[in-house]
């Protein structure tokens, strides 16, 4: 027995969730890239099928390690270079369908009940597919993955988000595509790619179009670049959520006596309940944060920002929703109540209609956590304690 055992407030009630409970806990994922979450074995298979010979490794295990190590560069630009390989093998209808189906299956097996998964359709046109064919192949893949998950006893719902690359000039076109598929599986829009030098205001026409259409979008901001990027994303572009947003911490001061002072932008983000799609492991890899223990999510949770936990790129970060939570449980001592708080935050911030979000919270998430939180009671009565 460790000394921690004696710090429980209720005898016998575990204070920290076990890895197995973390996996079974219902989780909601708002920030996950389709082209950043392939199974290494699938990358190898798809490369062989199309004769793509530029993979750095052809053994799936070694390839998985290669992606993690190559992405561990301390720079967002270098991190992004690894996507050349995944995008190269996602150029046909079959490949997109397979990757999307496996994505939904993998998330469901990890206990994710609702996910919004993004990708940039413009990066999948090299073999002649149209933007529409790309979107339809991915949507069909997600539906297939949901079916397979159900057959394996898991329930998941996956919405697609369409990303425009911030260095390119197709944002308006991708925003229109998002709008055209809003009733058929696409829940929102995003911009991604290198942040420094590519401010979101380059794509104002796309954001203005979506606002006029009453549609939803998030913007990668405050990851590799600081407060001006967050400010532009919110006040010029009108983003509903922030991808990462970690640098909001630069607008928060903690005095020696522990008093916290929020600047105007941080106050706005908290007051308006702007959701922050935080991705701890990804942030360590691109040097947007220094360690799990020092990751801004700890303070932002204490200060009641609308923080959520996400994977970003499961392949490049060697992670999953459960692993992200495991790291946070270890770093901050989070309990199942904290996990539920993050999960409810995420579900409140999703881009599906309000009544569906509410039903997910009340009928799926809360009962799931209640079940997990009550397990210790029955364990004690059935085994008896010494």
The answer to the question of whether 244 is labelled as a binding residue is no
* Partner in contact with 307, chosen from ligand 2ND, Zn ion, none, beta carbon below 5 to 8 Å by kind: none
- Among residues 192, 219, 289, 361, the one that binds ligand 2ND under rule CB under 6 A: 192
**Residue 69 is a catalytic residue:** no
Candidate list 223, 277, 324, 326, residue with the active-site label: 223
Q: Based on CB atoms, which residue is closest to Zn ion, 195 or 312?
A: 312
CB atoms within 10 A of CB 3: 6
Cβ of 89: how many Cβ atoms within 10 Å?
23
Q: Does residue 318 bind ligand 2ND (CB under 6 A)?
A: no
Strand partners, 260: 254
Which residues lie across from 119 on neighbouring strands? 162
- Please give the helix or strand (H or E) that residue 281 lies within, else none: helix 280-285
Q: In terms of DSSP bridges, do strands 157-165 and 241-244 run parallel, antiparallel, or are they unpaired?
A: unpaired
Report helix, strand or coil for 159.
strand
Q: Note whether 193 binds ligand 2ND by CB under 6 A.
A: yes
Q: Give the CB-nearest residue to Zn ion.
A: 312
Among the listed residues 68, 182, 203, 220, the single contact to ligand 2ND using CB under 6 A: 220
State which residue, 312 or 326, has the beta carbon closest to Zn ion: 312
Alpha-carbon distances, residue 321 vs 19, 215, 310 (angstroms): 11, 27, 6
**DSSP three-state, residue 138:** helix
Asked if residue 190 belongs to a known ligand binding site, the reply is no
Is the CB of 86 or the CB of 349 nearer to ligand 2ND?
86
Residue 119 vs residues 33, 86, 274, 356: alpha-carbon distances, Å: 6, 11, 22, 24
| SS3 state of residue 261 | strand
Q: Is 295 annotated as a binding residue?
A: no
Determine if residue 154 is labeled as part of a ligand binding site. Answer: no
- Residue 45 among known ligand-binding residues: no
Closer residue to ligand 2ND, CB minimum distance, 192 or 289: 192
Site for ligand 2ND contains 43 (CB under 6 A)? no
Minimal distance, residue 116 CB to Zn ion, in Å: 12
203 assigned ligand-binding residue: no
How many whole angstroms separate alpha carbon 33 and alpha carbon 160? 10
Segment interacting with ligand 2ND, rule: CB under 6 A, options 31-39, 253-261, 300-308, 358-366: 31-39
| Largest interatomic CA distance in the chain | 68
Concatenated DSSP letters of 209-260: HHHHTT--BEEEESSSS-HHHHHIIIIIS--SEEEE-GGGGGGEEE-TTS-E
DSSP character string of 29-69: EEEEEGGG---HHHHHHHHHHHT----S--SHHHHHHHHHH
**Contact residue for ligand 2ND among 119, 207, 209, 292 (CB under 6 A):** 119
Tell me, residue by residue from 267 to 286, as one string, x for binding to ligand 2ND by CB under 6 A and - for no binding: ---------------x----
Of 48 and 196, nearer to ligand 2ND (C-beta) is 196
Active-site residues: which are they?
223
List binding-site positions: 31, 33, 35, 193, 220, 312
Binding site for ligand 2ND (CB under 6 A): 33, 35-36, 76, 80, 83, 87, 118-120, 123, 163, 192-193, 220, 223, 282, 312-313
């Amino acid at each position: 027995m460790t000394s921690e055992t004696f710090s429980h407030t209720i005898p016998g009630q575990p204070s920290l969730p076990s890895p197995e409970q973390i996996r079974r806990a219902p989780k909601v994922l708002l920030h996950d890239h389709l082209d950043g979450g392939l199974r290494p074995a699938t990358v190898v298979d798809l490369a062989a099928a199309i004769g793509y010979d530029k993979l750095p490794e052809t053994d799936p295990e070694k390839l998985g390690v290669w992606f993690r190590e190559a992405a561990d560069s301390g720079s967002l630009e270098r991190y992004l270079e690894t996507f050349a390989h995944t995008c190269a093998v996602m150029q046909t209808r079959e490949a997109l369908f397979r990757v999307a189906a496996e994505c939904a299956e993998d998330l469901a097996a990890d206990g994710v009940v609702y996910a919004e998964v993004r990708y940039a359709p413009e990066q999948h046109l090299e073999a002649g597919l149209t933007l529409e064919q790309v979107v339809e192949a991915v949507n069909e893949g997600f539906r297939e993955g949901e079916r397979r998950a159900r057959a394996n006893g898991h329930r998941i719902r996956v919405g697609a988000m369409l990303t425009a690359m911030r260095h390119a000039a197709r944002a308006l076109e991708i925003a229109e595509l998002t709008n055209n598929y809003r009733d058929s599986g696409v829940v929102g829009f995003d911009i991604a790619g290198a942040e420094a030098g590519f401010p979101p205001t380059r794509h104002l026409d796309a954001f203005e179009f979506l606002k006029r259409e009453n549609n939803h979008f998030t913007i990668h901001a405050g990851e590799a670049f600081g407060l001006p990027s967050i400010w532009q994303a919110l006040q010029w572009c009108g983003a509903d959520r922030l991808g990462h947003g970690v640098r909001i911490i630069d607008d928060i001061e903690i005095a020696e006596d522990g008093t916290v002072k929020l600047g105007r932008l941080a106050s706005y983000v908290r007051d308006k309940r702007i959701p922050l799609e935080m991705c701890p492991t990804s942030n360590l890899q691109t040097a947007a944060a220094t360690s799990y223990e020092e990751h801004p999510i700890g303070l932002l949770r204490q200060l009641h920002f609308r923080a959520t936990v996400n994977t970003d790129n499961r392949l490049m970060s060697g992670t999953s929703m459960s692993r992200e939570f495991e790291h946070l449980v270890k770093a901050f001592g989070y309990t199942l109540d904290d996990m539920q708080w993050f999960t409810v935050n995420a579900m409140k911030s999703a881009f599906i209609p309000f009544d569906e979000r509410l039903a997910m919270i009340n009928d799926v998430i809360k009962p799931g956590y209640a079940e997990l939180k009550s397990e210790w009671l029955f364990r004690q009565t059935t085994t008896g304690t010494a």
